[in-house]
């Protein structure tokens, strides 16, 4: 009996341990805690997502976004290709292993000749005699030659080709590699879907070999009998048949072409007015997300001999979730036995047999078991040690380099880097690793009393300088310590029972999904455009702001661009300031994005992969050009500032839309993530904002859950019209007594982006757009707070990016406002927040699992909340009619609304306009500073 009793106690004890383990999970938070973003080259740098940088070795600052890197055969010179801002550049670093390397920018600075490099993208190689660097010419469809010693341009090699059947007139030359004897260059043409073979002795194109969709990476086998090309594309997009430049505004589609994965997407269809919308076919065809093997053993007849799918196929069950996005194979390197391929969306490396051209193994990149199920490592560049015993993998998402034991095909550890390591090289003796970090140490501040404007200006894209990191390859013992540092830089782990969370018991936000039920049942997520914290909230006394930068705050004086009209002592964004006082804001929130293109990905919880990051930087650098009549098969996916996500962007687990649908959470969308570019704007597009003439698919979950009466981004449509449309549809759908408001509603209110002055339409100043946006925000908060759902509601308001603002802490610091009966009143939270914080809070409230490493590892927004609700609703304030006259902008309900300005609506994120604006801000600030002196 005693033994039976003891056994029972043991079973109960084991069961209790299991229950305790389940009830006491690890909670990951941001290492920054409550620290503000800060650049410290010698210590710890805090970056916008709350992670820490402590790069090993020494760092050399170069121009923004060095996505390309090469090392000379003698190991003395490194060159980076910088595609982040105009003018595009290369950086030549001579004597790179010395204590004082020589750094030369070509061209030397922002104000120098743009024609030196009209376009540059990633691809680099240096000739055998160490004298010439070959530079991929991007959209110029060429390869440039520069003198390594002087930086002087030595000409270019044309990669275009046309005959009766083939037209490679337009091309986009990217990654490239040079043969051992230096006589042949092999490069990818991203929009031509081809590999080019160049004779360096004659400077001519010898062959164009068709490969897969959006070829991105390339490498040679050690015996140089094969070339391997990694294709990151899913589809070949096409014009909708029947649409021409002449009839496009009349015939273009009012809504995106079809839903992702639908029958219409695969097969195409015909519209009611006889337009033919071409289908895109299946997602897993050989040309998509694959590695092509090209046999070059016969120099006269190069041919594709294998098409290998790597990583997870679309639709594969991965840890219980069907893969939404493809693998995104992007970079390659080869040993005598294997070709290694980084799968950017799968967080792994495929191992392809040289002999069989098939995948024989997979190396998983999971730095910590506690977050192993979440993606976000973003493997990118690759390099091998000279003895082929070590493989180095740039892990862009965790700011680290993975060291792989080639014999064991397993990760040995991780090395800390700067922000977003992209490409790698190992020096000739195998003792040094050289890393190009695309985002370096971040941007830092771009305004304020202590900010000194340098030649690069204050535009965020120009301030995001990259770095080249030179470090000793660590021993096994050193690598162990470095690995621990990488984990600590990215995540802080505490048990749910930790003292750290002792105050969370009654907080309306559960500590983790499923911990308890939240009183919040309805979330409204509002996105705006391009503003920083300081320019709106710099005068808020409880926050860490600089009042002199609050150009949209209180007591503002301004004048129009012509100097013919001015305002004195005006309050611009009065509702924002009232909401800050009535509810809560953060002064330590940062957008993860640099610009709108990646911002709109982040806003739907899709972290940008290597394809999106490189495309975005190149686009904002000015080297992406769209041609309506181009025959290049890939011309329609080289996109810049779009407000939507494309299939090439899709993460393995998809976006928040897929996440919500999988977890059976009801949601509805007003204007979010439906603005595909290129598109068309016109005075008649009152209810959609933009029309579509290319067959891009919309994420399937929002196909039927998006308003057809609410216009997306279009700066000539007043935000007042948007709010009227929102209220009308809300009344119809959820105030009718039968249907209930969804758990999550997303709304875009974009006019704080700003545009040109239109005094005749109620916009006499640039500030007018901010006032329009402010009144719209006030009106939607007022409306929602007077509905029956208010008692259980949370409204979260933020920006997609902060690129056109100024801030004395960091150019990424932005607006985050929380409105709810359950948030503290007149409160400024100082905890470090990022986009991941918003989504983590959503998932905790809705009882859903996390989607990726960025939300799983962020601080949630619990600090904003109170366990004692205050149900007082919000009442909006009118705006100063001197700045914005809603009546003059005309009643949005009037079908005779004056839309003539629609033809002048700016393209989202016109960088030149923003740079001009930043110069005007700086000049105005300096002028006022002198006056005060």
Residues 323 and 210 placed together within one structural domain of the fold: yes
Q: 616: closest CA among 749, 460, 490?
A: 460
Count Cα atoms within 13 angstroms, Cβ side, for 528.
31
pLDDT in tens, 542-572: 999 999 999 999 999 989 989 999 999 999 9
3-state secondary structure of 72: coil
Residues 483 and 525 placed together within one structural domain of the fold: no
pLDDT computed for residue 12 by the predictor:
41
pLDDT computed for residue 17 by the predictor:
38
Structural tokens at position 258? 């079809």
Count Cα atoms within 13 angstroms, Cβ side, for 121.
34
| Cβ-based burial of 15 (10 A; exposed 0-12, middle 13-18, buried ≥19) | exposed
Rounded Cα distance, 824 and 583, in Å: 6
Count Cα atoms within 13 angstroms, Cβ side, for 146.
27
Q: How far is CA 796 from CA 528, 806, 842, in A?
A: 11, 22, 10
Buried b (16+ CB within 10 A) or exposed e, 153-181: beebbebbbeeeeeebebbbbbbbbbbee
**CATH number, domain containing residue 79:** 2.130.10.10
Residues 528 and 448 placed together within one structural domain of the fold: no
3-state secondary structure of 834: coil
**Domain contains 639:** no
Of 493, 513, 535, the last residue of a domain is 493
| Max intra-chain CA distance, the chain | 99
Three-state secondary structure along 284-346? Answer: CCCCCCEEEEEECCCCCCCEEEEEEECCCCCCCEECCEECCCCCCEEEEEECCCEEEEEECCC
**Domain contains 693:** no
Residues 227 and 288 placed together within one structural domain of the fold: yes
Residues 903 and 790 placed together within one structural domain of the fold: yes
Q: Decide if 192 contacts 168 (C-beta within 8 A).
A: yes
Residues 417 and 532 placed together within one structural domain of the fold: no
**Domain contains 374:** yes
Interaxial angle between packed helices 719-734 and 767-785, expressed in degrees from 0 to 180 and rounded to the nearest 10: 20
**Domain contains 721:** yes
Element spanning 425, H or E: strand 419-426
Kindly state the DSSP code that residue 355 receives in the 8-state scheme.
T
Rounded Cα distance, 96 and 394, in Å: 20
Rounded Cα distance, 332 and 559, in Å: 54
**CATH number, domain containing residue 529:** 3.40.720.10
**Domain contains 447:** yes
Of 446, 478, 493, the last residue of a domain is 493
Q: Decide if 117 contacts 88 (C-beta within 8 A).
A: yes
The single residue listed with the structure tokens 């589609």 is: 253
Q: How many domains does the chain have?
A: 2
Residues 582 and 445 placed together within one structural domain of the fold: no
Number of Cβ within 10 Å of residue 719's Cβ equals: 29
Q: 687: closest CA among 723, 644, 734, 722?
A: 722
Q: What angle do CA 861, 865, 867 make, to 5 degrees?
A: 140
Residues 202 and 338 placed together within one structural domain of the fold: yes
Rounded Cα distance, 682 and 253, in Å: 12
Rounded Cα distance, 778 and 758, in Å: 23
Element spanning 769, H or E: helix 767-785
**Domain contains 525:** yes
pLDDT computed for residue 932 by the predictor:
41
Q: Which residues of the chain have pLDDT under 70?
A: 1-22, 84-87, 110-115, 619-628, 638-641, 682-684, 889-933
Residues 829 and 918 placed together within one structural domain of the fold: yes
pLDDT computed for residue 91 by the predictor:
97
Element spanning 490, H or E: helix 476-490
Q: Which range marks the domain in which residue 178 is found?
A: 45-237+280-493
User: Which residues, in sequence order, are bridge partners of residue 318?
Assistant: 321
**Domain contains 504:** no
Residues 303 and 411 placed together within one structural domain of the fold: yes
Of 457, 476, 493, the last residue of a domain is 493
**Domain contains 802:** yes
What is the DSSP annotation of 426-485? Answer: E-TTS-EEEEEEEEET------STT---BTTBS-HHHH-EEEEEEEEPPPHHHHHHHHHH
Residues 717 and 787 placed together within one structural domain of the fold: yes
Q: Percentage helix, strand, coil, to 5, in the chain? A: 20, 30, 50
Residues 219 and 312 placed together within one structural domain of the fold: yes
pTM (predicted TM-score) = 0.93
Length of the chain: 933
Distance of CA 277 to the CA centre of its chain: 29
């Amino acid at each position: 009996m005693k033994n039976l009793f003891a056994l029972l106690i043991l079973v109960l004890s084991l069961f209790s341990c299991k229950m305790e383990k389940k009830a006491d999970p690890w909670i990951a938070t941001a290492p920054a805690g409550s620290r503000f973003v800060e650049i410290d080259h010698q210590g710890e740098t805090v970056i916008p997502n709350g992670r820490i940088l402590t790069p090993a070795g020494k760092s050399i600052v170069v121009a923004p976004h060095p996505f390309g890197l090469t090392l000379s055969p003698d190991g003395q010179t490194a060159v980076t290709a910088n595609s982040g801002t105009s003018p595009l550049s290369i950086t030549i670093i001579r004597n790179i292993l010395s204590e004082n390397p020589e750094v030369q920018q070509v061209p030397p600075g922002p104000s120098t000749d743009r024609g030196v490099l009209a376009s540059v993208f990633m691809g680099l190689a240096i000739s055998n005699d160490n004298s010439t660097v070959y530079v991929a010419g991007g959209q110029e469809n060429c390869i440039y030659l520069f003198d390594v010693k002087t930086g002087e341009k030595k000409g270019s090699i044309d990669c275009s080709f046309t005959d009766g059947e083939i037209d490679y007139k337009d091309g986009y030359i990217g990654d490239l590699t040079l043969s051992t004897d230096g006589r042949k260059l092999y490069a990818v043409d991203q929009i031509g879907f081809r590999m080019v073979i160049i004779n360096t002795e004659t400077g001519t194109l010898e062959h164009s070999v068709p490969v897969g969709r959006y070829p991105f990476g390339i490498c040679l086998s050690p015996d140089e009998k094969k070339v391997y090309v990694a294709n990151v594309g899913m589809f070949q997009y096409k014009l909708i048949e029947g649409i021409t430049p002449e009839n496009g505004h009349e015939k273009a589609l009012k809504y995106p072409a079809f839903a992702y994965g639908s029958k219409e997407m695969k097969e195409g269809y015909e519209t009611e007015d006889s337009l033919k919308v071409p289908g895109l076919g299946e997602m897993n065809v050989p040309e998509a997300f694959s590695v092509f093997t090209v046999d070059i053993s016969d120099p006269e007849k190069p041919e594709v001999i294998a098409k290998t799918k790597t990583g997870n196929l679309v639709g594969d069950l991965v840890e219980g979730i069907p893969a939404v996005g493809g693998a995104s194979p992007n970079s390659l390197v080869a040993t005598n036995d294997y070709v290694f391929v980084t799968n950017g969306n799968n967080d792994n490396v495929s191992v392809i047999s040289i002999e069989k051209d098939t995948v024989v193994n997979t190396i998983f990149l999971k730095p910590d078991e506690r977050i192993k199920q979440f993606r976000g490592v973003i493997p990118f560049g690759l390099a091998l040690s000279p003895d082929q015993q070590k493989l180095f993998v740039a892990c862009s998402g965790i700011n680290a380099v993975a060291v792989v034991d080639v014999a064991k095909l397993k990760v040995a550890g991780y090395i800390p880097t700067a922000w977003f390591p992209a490409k790698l090289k190992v020096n000739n003796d195998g003792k040094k690793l050289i890393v190009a970090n695309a985002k370096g140490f971040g941007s830092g501040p771009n305004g304020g009393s202590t900010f000194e404007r340098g030649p690069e200006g204050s535009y965020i894209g120009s301030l995001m300088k990259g770095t080249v990191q030179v470090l000793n390859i660590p021993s096994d013992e050193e690598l162990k310590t470095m690995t621990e540092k990488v984990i600590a830089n990215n995540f802080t782990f505490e048990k749910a029972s930790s003292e750290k969370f002792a105050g969370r018991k009654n907080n309306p936000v559960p500590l983790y999904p499923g911990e308890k039920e939240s009183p919040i049942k309805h979330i409204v997520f509002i996105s705006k455009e391009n503003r920083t914290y300081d320019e709106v909230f710099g005068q808020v006394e409880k926050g860490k702001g600089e009042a002199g930068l609050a150009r949209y705050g209180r007591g503002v004086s301004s004048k129009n661009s012509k100097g013919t009209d001015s305002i004195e002592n005006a309050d611009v964004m009065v509702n924002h300031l009232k909401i800050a006082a009535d509810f809560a804001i953060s002064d330590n929130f940062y957008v993860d994005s640099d610009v709108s293109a990646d911002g709109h990905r982040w806003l739907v919880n899709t972290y940008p992969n290597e394809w999106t990051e490189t495309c975005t930087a190149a686009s904002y650098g000015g080297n992406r050009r769209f041609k309506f009549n181009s025959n290049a098969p890939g011309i329609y996916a080289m996109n810049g500032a779009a407000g939507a996500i494309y299939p090439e962007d899709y993460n393995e687990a998809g976006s928040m839309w897929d996440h919500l649908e999988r977890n059976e959470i009801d949601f509805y969308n007003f204007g979010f993530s439906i603005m595909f570019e290129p598109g068309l704007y016109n005075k008649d597009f009152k209810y959609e904002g933009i029309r579509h003439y290319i067959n891009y698919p919309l994420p399937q979950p929002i196909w039927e859950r998006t308003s057809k009466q609410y216009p997306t981004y279009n700066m000539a449509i007043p935000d007042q019209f948007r709010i009227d449309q929102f209220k009308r549809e809300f009344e119809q759908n959820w105030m009718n007594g039968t249907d209930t408001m969804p758990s999550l509603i997303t709304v875009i209110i974009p006019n704080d982006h700003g545009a040109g002055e239109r005094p005749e339409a109620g916009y006499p100043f640039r500030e007018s757009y901010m006032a329009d946006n402010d009144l719209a925000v006030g009106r939607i908060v007022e409306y929602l707070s007077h509905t029956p759902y208010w008692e259980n509601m949370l409204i979260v308001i933020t920006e997609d990016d902060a690129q056109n603002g100024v801030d004395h802490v960091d150019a990424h610091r932005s607006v985050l406002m929380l409105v709810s009966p359950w948030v503290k009143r007149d409160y400024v939270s100082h905890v470090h927040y990022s986009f991941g914080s918003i989504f983590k809070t959503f998932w905790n409230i809705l009882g859903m699992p996390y989607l990726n490493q960025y939300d799983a590892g962020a601080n949630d927004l619990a600090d904003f909340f109170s366990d004692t609700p205050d149900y007082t609703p919000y009442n909006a304030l009118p705006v100063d009619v001197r700045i914005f006259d809603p009546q003059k902008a005309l009643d949005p309900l009037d079908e005779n609304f004056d839309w003539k300005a629609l033809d002048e609506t700016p393209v989202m994120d016109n960088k030149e306009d923003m740079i001009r604006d930043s110069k005007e801000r700086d000049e105005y600030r300096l002028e006022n500073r002198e006056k005060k002196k």
